[in-house]
């Protein structure tokens, strides 16, 4: 199952897409060449008229609650959209992950720091950056960005990193590590000719 934030985003995009499609279909249907082929229940627009004329708009505006209702609804929608926008910037990480040991918990930041220091100590690695994210359905997502020395062999370094990740997965037993490693390398300095 996908993360709830992703599901909500897809539902919101689908709703906006469907409403835009319906609005476009309504505008296309007002064209004279299309209007002749529409069913009888479809709202007809006079060739010299507008889609929403003043008489049609004055009906809903007549009650006294109209202005208050529109302003309240607009303010509520704006607040909800602002909260939704702010929630998109959350990282999705949980500060503590429960372990099966009594009163045991693991901080994802501490795990990232340990993995980063252990990865940086592997021969052939100039520096590394580690990020540990969400533990959903028993998974921890680990992203490693590793910068290699120019003379390092990626296959040798990857074998050492794989052994390190196997050790880390044994340490966080109820969780499974899903690891992505991104390699980059320092360029050889070319000699300057004078």
pTM greater than the 0.85 cutoff: no
Which pLDDT band holds residue 49 (cuts at 50, 70, 90)? low
Mean pLDDT of the chain, nearest integer: 80
Write down the pLDDT at residue 18.
Answer: 92
Q: CA-CA-CA-CA torsion for 53, 59, 64, 70, nearest 10 degrees? A: -50
In the predicted model, what is the mean pLDDT of residues 12-24?
Answer: 88
Interval 62-119: pLDDT, tens: 778 888 888 899 999 999 988 877 877 765 545 677 777 788 888 888 889 999 999 9
E strands within the chain? 96-98, 105-107, 125-136, 139-148, 176-185
């Amino acid at each position: 199952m996908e993360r709830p934030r992703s599901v909500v985003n897809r539902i919101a995009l689908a709703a906006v897409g469907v409403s835009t499609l319906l609005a476009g279909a309504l505008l296309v249907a007002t064209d004279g060449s299309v209007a002749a082929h529409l069913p009888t229940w479809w709202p007809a627009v006079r060739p010299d008229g507008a889609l929403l004329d003043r008489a049609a708009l004055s009906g809903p505006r007549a009650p006294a609650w109209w202005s208050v209702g529109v302003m309240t609804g607009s303010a509520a929608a704006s607040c909800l959209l602002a909260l939704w926008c702010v929630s998109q910037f959350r990282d999705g990480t949980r500060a503590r992950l429960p372990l099966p040991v009594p009163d045991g918990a693991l901080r994802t930041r501490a795990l990232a720091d340990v993995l980063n220091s252990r990865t940086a100590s592997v021969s052939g690695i100039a520096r590394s950056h580690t990020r540990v994210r969400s533990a959903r359905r028993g998974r921890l997502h680990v992203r490693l960005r590793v910068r290699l020395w120019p003379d390092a062999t990626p296959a040798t370094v990857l074998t050492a990193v794989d052994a390190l990740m196997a050790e880390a997965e044994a340490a966080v037993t109820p969780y499974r590590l899903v690891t992505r490693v991104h390699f980059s390398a320092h360029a050889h300095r070319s000699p300057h000719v004078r």
